[in-house]
Amino acid sequence: MTEATLKPSSFYWRNYYNLCKPKVVYLIVFTAVVGMLLSTKGALPLDTFIAACLGIGLASASGAALNHWVDQRIDVVMARTSNRPLPQGKLSSRQALIFALSLAVISMVILLIWTNVLTTLLTLMSLIGYAVIYTMFLKRSTPQNIVLGGAAGAAPPLLGWCAMTGEVNSEALLLFLIIFIWTPPHFWALAIKRKKEYANAGVPMLPVTHGVAFTKLHILLYTLMLLIVSVMPFMIHMTGLIYFAGAVALGIGFVYHAVKLYRTGESDEHAMKTFAYSIFYLSALFGFLLVDHYARILIRMFL
């Protein structure tokens, strides 16, 4: 699409904002912030904290914009994505690519100057993992795309932790593991609902290649694994009873939705409710991590 064919609103800032998948980026930054806050029992250095939030957020926005750029032809044939800026002609392919690469460069500069080299390298690896390895290759070649590509999306809390401490330890890796296991059931629930669209676009999502019932079984198995993994922070004394109670309650809720989804057979009934709960689950789980962390600090202060 040439600049001359763009619609009049093409240069309005909201088109670029929507290119960043802001709701997804907000959740990513939130989990990164949780990683930062959990990494220390004291006050965080404000300059490093702000830089890490900006750098990780901009890198995530860059990955989202690159995803739009790579998937623009697929997005045209899918109802869920057909209203995005590129399919709608509100931005040109060139504008989107320049914007995405600019965000990537800015994010790396911010992280390199105000955090540390390890955080910068890990963030760059995550960006490449999502925008290149997953979006360009895995998404189009294997039904296990979201499993293999999930590592990039699971990195933010680990990146936040590393930004504050300059290292990656077992606790940071456990936060990574929680999101890594959460990603497949979260995305497969949506894929069930959008099975026909993915099939029309030629994307080999699991419901397309192996059927809806097979996918639902795997959603159930992953939610059971997630319930186990989610209580591991308590088992290694990283968290206390507040988090443990919240993780168990939320995990049982997720399993309930997965079982209900599984019992609907080949139907897509309850798929979007499971998808919606998965978003609530992750936000609430990381919220419990924070509440538990600061509750334990307050208890130690007054005992």
Which helix H or strand E contains 277, and what residues bound it? helix 271-302
Tell me which DSSP letter residue 205 carries. -
In this predicted structure, what is the pLDDT of residue 236?
96
Q: What is the full per-residue pLDDT of the chain (303 aa) written as tens digits? A: 444 445 544 457 899 999 999 999 999 999 999 999 999 988 899 999 999 999 999 999 999 999 999 999 999 989 889 999 999 999 999 999 999 999 999 999 999 999 999 999 999 999 999 999 999 999 999 999 999 899 999 999 999 999 999 999 999 999 999 999 999 999 999 999 999 999 999 999 999 999 999 999 999 999 999 999 999 999 999 999 999 999 999 999 999 999 999 999 899 999 999 999 999 999 999 999 999 999 999 998 887
Query: Are residues 213 and 237 in contact, defined by beta-carbon separation less than 8 angstroms?
Result: no
DSSP H stretches of helix in the chain: 13-19, 22-38, 46-70, 72-77, 93-114, 117-128, 139-141, 145-148, 150-154, 156-165, 170-193, 195-201, 206-210, 212-230, 232-235, 241-262, 271-302
Tokens standing for residue 77 = 């044939």
The confidence score (pLDDT) of residue 21 equals: 95
Which run of H or E residues covers position 40?
none
Which architecture, in CATH terms, is 11-168?
Orthogonal Bundle (1.10)
Contact predicate 120/112, CB 8 Å = yes
Asked if 220 and 255 touch (Cβ cutoff 8 Å), the reply is yes
- pLDDT at residue 169, as a whole number: 96
Interatomic CA distance for residues 137 and 171, integer angstroms: 31
Scanning the structure block, which residue is given the tokens 């992280």?
Answer: 111
Q: Which is nearest to 173 in space by CA: 54, 35, 290?
A: 35
Measuring CA to CA, which residue among 285, 227, 220, 228 is closest to residue 251? Answer: 227
Q: What is the pLDDT of residue 80?
A: 85
Name the burial class of residue 264, with classes exposed (0-12), middle (13-18) and buried (19+) by CB atoms within 10 angstroms of its CB.
middle
Extents of the domains making up the chain: 11-168, 170-303
Residue 65 has a pLDDT of 97
